[in-house]
Each structure stands twice: as structure tokens, then as C-alpha cells.
Amino acid sequence: MSIAENPAAPPTWRLLLGYVRPHRWTLLVGALLSLVTGATGLLLPLVARELIDDLSHDRAITGALVIMSALVVANAALGALGSYVLRRTAESVVLGARRALSSYLLRLRITAVDRSEPGDLMARITSDTTLLREVTTDSLVGLGTGGLTLAATVVMMGLVDPVLLAVTLAVILGAGTVLGVIVPRINKASRQAQDAVGVMGASLERILSALRTVKASGAEHREERTLHEAAEESWRQSVRAAKWSAAAGNTAGLAMQIAFITVLAVGGARVATGAIDIGTLVAFLLYVFYLMSPIQQVVGAITQYQTGAAALARIQEALRLPAEPAAQPAPLPATGAEPAALAFEDVRFRYAEDLPYVHHGVTFAVPARGMTAFVGPSGAGKTTVFSLIERFYDPEGGTISLDGRDLADWELPQLRSAIGYVEQDAPVLSGSLRANLLLGNPDADEGSLTRVLKTTRLDGLVARLPDGLETLVGHRGTRLSGGERQRVAIARALLRRPRLLLLDEATSQLDAVNEAALRDTVADVARTTTVLVVAHRLSTVTMADRIVVMDAGRVRAVGTHRELVAADPLYAELAATQFLATAE
Ligand code: ADP
Ligand code: MG
């Protein structure tokens, strides 16, 4: 599992109480309703005795009948209300946990996402939170009501005979020791069962997001086995948890039998010596019987809690992944806002402490307005430049500044609202074309939408599609061609009126006509905005105002095409091969 268990994590019950706290009063009402329901049930035998009494004395039974019917109806109504209130509260606890997790996962740092399995995180939101339902009702309420009844019964037992109470408690203590061994095993098995569900989610996500490749590779059978193994592992561990839960329940039952026999023996001896009378012994034995149900309830609550604690631990781990601070969204730049200037100063960066440096002191400066191309072999660190500008990662040394201000001093939403970013793999989300275009600016008016569609030469495509902008593009935009996806991503970025446009050019997704069109677009945009392009085509590079040549995490040279062809052998070679040979 990619998310490590953290030994310094606070106890999971604190997390649970955090989710339960907003609903504590409804939970209390629900618990009280179940207690009252139980009490009305207990009254029934008394009224029945009254009714029989009336009958045998030839009295009218109307009164008793009315009371009995009222009790039956009240019992049913209160019971229904109680279980509704409890279940509703439990669902609200689940909702609270899901909300908190969803918000948190959207704020996760990209570093955390790099090291996690999305499917496993999904399982934590969907499956693990579901387990909080039973924890809330069965565990918390069971512990509360069962504990109360237990305490009351013990007090009564102490009043009847303290010696016999001591005997009973000794037996219960012994059972408690055995339970102390069993209960952690339930927790461990539940944890492993939930982890297996996480593994299954991760595999599912991996397979479904690349189903075409899986099919084309003929890997269905192997992937099927992976899924089945995860499902079977969850089954195995759940069965193990069930085994230990059963053992716990029966240990409690057995303890009560032993307590009964012991009390009978010790109590009998005490009756024989005259320490207590027979009535006291009988009363005490009745209390031992009464103890049975709350003890089962409390043990049930504790074993049930172990499943929930395992889920809570998994939720807690997700909530301890590194995340960006919560912040309000920032407004987009106004039309005609000043283009941004950017500078890298001796930037050193690696993706993780156990990975080699990707930037060994990268330095370059980009003035406001105009187009800067980044070229260099695959793996040189070009895409990483863009990731650092977006602050998906922070550099280990050196500074990056936008408008002369260190990126670290920018509020993240402000920073990102100034930037339009077109990723190399130009991802498109499932949903409609319109939703994809408006992702970065839902308030864009039809006028700007039409303009941007024209600029990116998407207007022809939209006219051809049967549903126009409402056409669904499929998972990751599979219904669009590579070039169309790229242009949709550019249109989306332009709708944000960025002060800085980052375009990580796709390598071979545009035909000649589209390429020329896009080149004109970029040239247009560069007149009013700062444009950075990771370029793989000579045609893009030659129109750049300046070219930054990168190799192995360093800037080799900066200049115009003409200057660089003369001065830099690597650039000359890249240019000679039209760049494409070295493209990713
Ligand atoms: P370029 O875009 O110039 O081809 P990148 O900036 O994408 O190069 O990558 C530079 C180096 O960083 C490569 O060696 C790549 O393997 C590594 N790298 C890129 N992204 C990550 C990541 N998320 N985690 C770890 N290493 C990465
Ligand atoms: Mg790249």
C-alpha cells in the first residue's frame, strides 16, 4: 500500500468523535428513543398481568385493553422513530466524513498523488466511510445504552450482595482478559480486508483507465486474476474478522454461564453458612441473567468498533497526506490584464529525496509579452519547468519569481488564476465539449467562447458534431482526435484570459494544416500575453522570440534560432533533425 501507516497518528476515536460531534444531540435523542422503546416493552407484561387479574375478578377489561393497545402502538411508533433517527444520524456522520475527505483530496499536493493509488483513495472515500454508519449506531449507541444498563445492573447487584458481586466481577475480568487478546485480531483482519478493497479499487482504476491497452495486450486474464485476488483477500480477511467476532461473542456468553454457576456455588455456600438468605441468592441470580444482554451489547459494540476503527485509520491516513492550504478561489485576470514576467534563478529540484536531481541550477528570465520556446532532449526537465511554475512542486533551492515576486509569496489561487496551462498529454475530462471548455472559467460568455473556438480552429469541428458543444467527448476525450484534444485544452486555457500561457506541445498530434493554424494562434496570443512553449517542431521554434535550450537539468544556451544554430552544437543538431527525432 502506498500510504504508509503513521505511528504518530492520533487515536482514531478522536476522528470519529469529530464527525459525530455535530450530530450529538440527534444521536442522544435516537438512543433515548430506543431506551424508551425498550421500557415500554417491559411494561407490557405488567399490563398483561393486570388484564388477567381483571378477567379472573369479572371486572371490565376495557381500561387494561386501552392501555395495552396504547403501549403496543407507542412501542411500535417509538421504535420506528428511534431507528429512523439513529440511522439518519449515522448517515449524516458518513456524509460529514465524505465531505471532509472529498475537500481534502482536491487539495492534495501533486507529490502526494504521485505516490498514491487513485483507486485506493477512491475506496477510502466510498467504501471506508460507509463503515462509519455501523460504528455510529451499533458501536456508539450500543456502548452507551448497553453500558448504562450494565452499570445500573451492577449497582443493583452490589446492593443485593457485595460478595457475590465481587465473584461475578472476577469472572467478567477473566473474560475481559481473553477479549483483550481477541479484539486486536478483529481490528487487524478488518484493516487487511479494507486494504484489499483499496487494492481492488487501485487495480480497477488502472485497468479501466487503460482498457484499450489492456485488451490490445491480451492482458485481460492476468488483470482479471489481480482483481479476483484482491476480492478474495478481502473475503479471507473479513472471514477471519468474523471468526474472531464470533469468538468474542461466545467468550462473553461463556463468561456469563460460568458466572452463573460460580454465583450458584458460592451463593449456595453463603446460604448454607447463613450469610445470606435464599431469596437474596435468587434475586442475585436473576440479575446475573439480566447482565447477559447488556454485556453482549457492549462486547458487540466493541467488536463492531474494530471494523470501524480500521476504516477510520484508513481515512485518517488519507487526511494526513500533504495538502495545499484551503483557500478561496481567486478571480481571473481582467481582459487586457498586463502579461506576466517570469524568472528562474539557480533552481534545484528533485521529485523526491530518493530520486536524482532533475534541475541542477536552472536559470533563465522571460520578459512580459512574447514567446519563449523550450527545447531539448526528452527528460531534459522541460515539463518540470512548467510544473514548478504552477507550484505543483516546490524547488529545493533557488527562486522562481512571477512579476518579480517569489512564487512562495503568492497565494496559490492567485498564482494559478494568472496562468493558463496546457499539459503535454492535453487531458480532456469526460463530459460535454462545453463543460471541458468552461472548466477553467464557467462564467465565460458566449461571445468569448465563439472567439476562442475560432482562434483555436475548433469552430469547424463544433459545426460538424451532431450535438455541437453538447457532444459528449468520452472518458479522457476518447471521442476526439489527439489534435482536437490538444486544441480543446488550448481553448480552455485561453478562456481564462491568462497573463502567462504554458503550452507543453504534444509531439505528433497535429496535421500540417492544423499546425499552421495553431502557430498563428500562438503568435496572436503572444502579442498580448507571455507565452512559454515546450516545442518539438522547428516551425514553432523559429517564430519564438527566444529559445531556451535545456539538457540534463541545465540550461545550455539561450538565444534566437539564428544565434543558436551558429553557437550551440546540440541545438544545431536538433534543428537539423527538425526536432521530431528527439521528441518524446
Ligand atoms: P522533459 O519534459 O524535458 O522530457 P520532464 O521534465 O518531464 O522532461 O522530466 C525530467 C525528469 O524527471 C525525467 O527523468 C523524468 O523521468 C523525471 N520525472 C518527471 N516527472 C516525474 C515525477 N512525477 N516523479 C518522478 N520523476 C519524474
Ligand atoms: Mg515533457
- Amino acid identity, residue 48? A
Q: Where are the beta strands (DSSP E) in 82-151?
A: none
Specify the pLDDT at position 507. 62
Mutate to test the pocket of ligand 1, among 114, 378, 384 (most ligand atoms within 8 A of CB): 384
Q: Is the CB of 191 under 6 A from ligand 1?
A: no
Neighbours of ion ligand 2 (CB under 5 A): 383
Going from the first residue of the chain to its last (584 residues), give the mean pLDDT of each consecutive group of 10, the final group possibly shorter.
Answer: 58 92 94 85 78 86 87 91 94 95 95 92 94 89 88 90 94 94 94 93 92 93 94 95 93 93 95 92 89 90 91 95 93 90 97 96 96 94 97 97 96 95 84 93 93 89 91 84 85 94 77 72 87 88 93 95 92 79 42
Which fold, 339-418+501-584? Rossmann fold (3.40.50)
How close is the Cα of 386 to the center of ligand 1, in Å?
11
Core vs surface per residue 66-75: b (16+ CB within 10 A) or e: ebbeebeeeb
Nearest Cα to 579, choosing from 96, 361, 564? 564
Q: Do domains 339-418+501-584 and 426-497 have the same CATH topology?
A: yes
Helix (H, G, I), strand (E, B) or coil at 61: coil
Cα(378) to centroid of ligand 2, in Å? 7
Position 430 scores a pLDDT of 85
ipTM of the complex: 0.99
Quick one: which of 436, 541, 565 has its CA closest to 489? 436
pLDDT for position 43: 79
pLDDT of residue 510: 59
Alpha-carbon Rg for the chain in angstroms: 35
Length reported for the chain: 584
Ligand with minimal distance to 112 CA: 1
Task: Provide the angle, in degrees to the nearest 10, between the axes of the packed helices 446-455 and 512-528.
Answer: 130
Q: Which helix (H) or strand (E) holds 462?
A: helix 459-464
At 508 the pLDDT is 59
d(CA 55, CA 42): 21
Q: Which ligand is nearest to the CA of 425?
A: 2
pTM: 0.85
Main-chain dihedrals φ then ψ at residue 433, nearest 5 degrees: -60, -45
> What percent helix, strand, coil does the chain show, rounded to 5?
65, 10, 25
Which three cell numbers, joined as nine digits, stand for 435?
A: 463543460
Ligand 1, pocket-test mutation among 358, 374, 574, most atoms within 8 A of CB: 358
First-to-final CA distance of the chain? 31
Calpha distance 445→463 (Å, rounded): 19
**313 and 194 Cβ atoms separated by less than 8 Å:** no
Q: Residue 254: what are its φ and ψ, rounded to 5°?
A: -60, -45
Of 182, 171, 191, 289, nearest to 234 (Cα)? Answer: 191
CB distance 96 to 22 below 8 Å: yes
The domain made up of 426-497 has a fold known as Rossmann fold (3.40.50)
Can you give the residue ranges of every domain in the chain?
12-319, 339-418+501-584, 426-497
Q: Is 60 helix (H, G, I), strand (E, B) or coil?
A: coil
Q: Which residue's C-alpha comes closest to atom 14 of ligand 1?
A: 379
353 lines ligand 1 (CB under 6 A): no
State residue 315's pLDDT score: 96
CB 196 within 8 A of CB 234: yes
> What would the grid cell of residue 304 be?
463492531
How many whole angstroms from 277 Cα to the centroid of ligand 2? 90
Q: Closest ligand 1 atom to the C-alpha of 384?
A: 6
Please give the Cα distance from 368 to 545 (Å, whole number): 12
470 C-beta closer than 6 A to ligand 1 = no
Give the sheet arrangement for strand 359-366, strand by strand: 359-366, 342-349, 397-402, 405-406
The whole-angstrom separation of Cα 268 and Cα 285 is: 11
Report whether residue 424 contacts ligand 1, using a CB cutoff of 6 Å.
Answer: no
pLDDT at 540: 84
Tell me what pLDDT residue 509 has.
Answer: 55
Tell me the CATH number for domain 12-319. Answer: 1.20.1560.10
**pLDDT number for residue 130:** 94
Check if the beta carbon of residue 535 is closer than 8 Å to that of residue 375: yes
Res 582: pLDDT: 43
Which own/partner pairs from 243-249 qualify as long-range (CB within 8 Å, at least 24 positions apart)?
244/182, 244/183, 244/185, 244/186, 244/189, 244/303, 245/186, 245/303, 247/182, 248/179, 248/182, 248/183, 248/186, 248/299, 248/302, 248/303, 249/296, 249/299, 249/300, 249/303
Cα angle 424, 430, 431; round to 5 = 130
Q: Is 574 exposed, middle or buried (0-12, 13-18, 19+ CB in 10 A)?
A: buried
pLDDT at 523: 85
The side-by-side arrangement of strands in the sheet containing 500-504 is: 419-422, 500-504, 530-534, 370-375, 546-551, 554-559
